[in-house]
Amino acid sequence: MALNEGQEEIHVLMVTLTAQGHLNPMLRLAKRLVDEGLHVTLATTQFGCHRILKAVTTTTTTTDATNFMSGIRLLSFPDGFNLDYDRGANLDHYMESLAKAGPLNLSNLIKQHYHRTKLSCIISNPFVSWAVDAALENGIPCAMLWIQPCSLYAIYYRFYKLNQFPTTLISNMIIELPGLPLLHTEDLPSFLLPSNSFGGVFKLLSDMFETIKKYKWVLANSFFELEKEAIESMTELCPIRPVGPLVPPLLLDQHQSLDVGIEMEKPDETSLDWLNKQRPHSVIYVSFGSLAVLSAKTMEAIATALKNTKHPFLWVVKTAGQLPLGFEEETKTQGLIIPWSLQTKVLAHPSIACFITHCGWNSMLEALVAGVPMIAYPQWSDQPTNAKLVVDVFKVGLKLKAVPNGVISNEDIEECITQMLSGPDFEGFKKNAAVLKQAACEAVTSGGSSERNIRLFVNEIARRS
């Protein structure tokens, strides 16, 4: 449904940080809204804007980049720090400072750029939840794009808002929540555990859920058929409306559609030629995202397992020095090691058999939509819960078991690979992955569950304009 000719223009402002897992889902939602006839602007910090323009290799030097990508305009606001400040060195301090400066700076941006044009809606994500205050100050309804599974939304809501958790979470405790599988303590998001070292993120999420009713809409990068029970469990509490999967069109069989995603790191393109030379469903793809830093013992266990299985492998390793001495030379005829991959094209390649992953939600969604079974090795944040979904809800993979010192063994990795590629559940994993792939494609086509939710959202904005 596109807006009718002659209908009043609808302007939407999206606010996000530029971590790739935050930015790309927002950009893909922006593209869908542009396709519906809306005018969309992305707002981020001046530092983030600098990163984006550098990543898209544009020569534009202004922080107001008109139509920087597929009809999406780019604006920026100050975050209170110099461009050369290391924002990742003390993330808690940075996020706390941004939460204080952000609402005023965003409000100033709104007053500057929308004093003659009516702004119909602001869309933020959970990590810039302060944007809702700037929206309400200017009389603008606000939506949130939830960038983790709907299951995590349900867990956090019941933890922060309803206090449906024990006072103290201890190991081996079992948590029973509506719409979710039985969760052990190890399955919970790391920010809820006593061992959490990111107090700023815990407070950010706490503050957001305390004021969740300020949002007119909560949208989600998921689809109804994937998380039906979790979504329905929130209907009477604080509904969440899935509009995804917000993944590259290539994975959804929309080959003619333009992907507006941004790669913040330069991918290695030679891997596709290497994959073309491998047999169908033979390659083990290994990637743990851009943030995970694995111990030397863990890297050695993975390397030993890959070598022992004798299957071809494609392994994303940002720094070759992290690998065991001699491993790359020993396996040069078996596998390929690259610093960063074109993950969409890798997962869609017919030679890929399974994906060993940290279970970041964007990577998981891409694998689900590509129909690729997974071996889960979660690290932090939402990843432990995502791994639980892989095994017990989506039923498309296995989870590696960490021994008491937290390190996985090469024997367990080898066993998981064997089970994934030739074990008794091998056909079941493939079948379940194929079913979810089909469901994802149907969700975003005309009349699909996510497409209907986007149309409903656009209609509701239009009625308020």
pLDDT in tens, 413-461: 999 999 999 999 999 999 999 999 999 999 999 999 999 999 999 999 9
Assess if residue 240 is contained within a domain.
yes
| 158 and 228 housed in the same domain | yes
Residue 209 structure tokens: 């859920």
What b/e sequence results for 253-284 when a residue is b if at least 16 CB atoms lie within 10 Å of its CB, and e otherwise? eeeeeebbbeeeeebbeebeebbeebeeeebb
Assess if residue 6 is contained within a domain.
no
| 343 and 409 housed in the same domain | yes
pLDDT band at 91 (very low <50, low <70, confident <90, very high): confident
What b/e sequence results for 203-228 when a residue is b if at least 16 CB atoms lie within 10 Å of its CB, and e otherwise? ebbeebbeebeebbbbbbbbbbbbbe
| 385 and 410 housed in the same domain | yes
pLDDT (mean) for 60-77: 72
Assess if residue 257 is contained within a domain.
no
Cβ proximity of 376 and 396 under 8 Å: no
Counting the structural domains of the chain, the total is 2
Q: What is the largest CA-CA distance in the chain?
A: 67
8-state DSSP, 115: S
Return the amino acid letter for 275. Answer: L
| 69 and 182 housed in the same domain | yes
CATH number at residue 124: 3.40.50.2000
Assess if residue 421 is contained within a domain.
yes
Q: What is the mean pLDDT of the chain?
A: 91
Does position 60 have pLDDT exceeding 60, yes or no?
no
Q: What is the pLDDT of residues 98-124, one digit of tens each?
A: 999 999 999 999 999 998 889 999 999
Q: What is the pLDDT of residue 63?
A: 44
Residues 6+ apart with CB under 8 A from 444: 223, 244, 245, 252, 254, 450, 451
Q: What is the pLDDT of residue 404?
A: 64
Q: What is the pLDDT of residue 6?
A: 52
Domain of residue 271, residue span: 267-440
Q: What is the pLDDT of residue 141?
A: 97
pLDDT (mean) for 182-186: 95
Q: What is the pLDDT of residue 59?
A: 39
Higher per-residue pLDDT: 116 or 185: 185
Q: What is the pLDDT of residues 264-298, one digit of tens each?
A: 788 888 899 999 999 999 999 999 987 778 989 99
Which residues face 65 on adjacent strands?
A: 74
Q: What is the pLDDT of residue 5?
A: 55
Which residues face 54 on adjacent strands?
A: none
Q: What is the pLDDT of residues 11-35, one digit of tens each?
A: 999 999 998 899 999 999 999 999 9
pLDDT (mean) for 251-263: 79
pLDDT (mean) for 209-225: 96
Assess if residue 262 is contained within a domain.
no
Higher per-residue pLDDT: 20 or 233: 233
Rounded to the nearest 10°, the torsion over CA 81, 87, 91, 94 is 10
- DSSP string computed for 186-214: GGS-GGGSTT---HHHHHHHHHHHHTGGG
Higher per-residue pLDDT: 56 or 121: 121
What's this model's pTM, rounded to 2 decimal places?
Answer: 0.94
| 417 and 450 housed in the same domain | no
| 434 and 453 housed in the same domain | no
